[in-house]
Amino acid sequence: MIGQHGIRTLQDMPPIRYDAVETALKTVGEKAQMENASVHLPRIGCGLAGGKWSEIEPLIERQICALNVPVFVYNLP
């Protein structure tokens, strides 16, 4: 899953690309549903990518949780 362009902020824009993250999450959600699997992940996109969890969480809800796929998000130290 590639959801950012670079690792530094360019002209006050973080490298996160929410549309790319959403596209990847859609694929993950569909595959997990087909395999009757759960999804486990850290707070993706919120480290070097500079994303906001308030933007990422709804993408996960829309693309994975809406498919009734269990999701577990871990807060890494």
Its domain, for residue 53, covers 18-28+36-74
Asked if residue 53 is part of any domain, the answer here is: yes
What's the mean pLDDT when you consider all of the chain? 90
Which residues on adjacent β-strands are paired with residue 50? none
Asked if residue 63 is part of any domain, the answer here is: yes
Tell me what percent of the residues of the chain surpass a pLDDT of 70.
Answer: 88
pLDDT of residue 9: 57
Asked if residue 22 is part of any domain, the answer here is: yes
Asked if residue 11 is part of any domain, the answer here is: no
Yes or no: say if 67 and 42 are a contact pair by the CB < 8 Å rule: no
For residue 5, give both structure tokens. 């362009």
For the chain, how long is the longest CA-to-CA vector? 42
Asked if residue 7 is part of any domain, the answer here is: no
As a three-state string, the secondary structure of the chain is: CCCECCCCCECCECCECHHHHHHHHHHHHHHHHHHCCCEEEECCCCCCCCCCHHHHHHHHHHHCHHHCCCEEEECCC
Domain count, the chain: 1
Model pTM?
A: 0.87
Mean pLDDT in residue range 22-48: 95
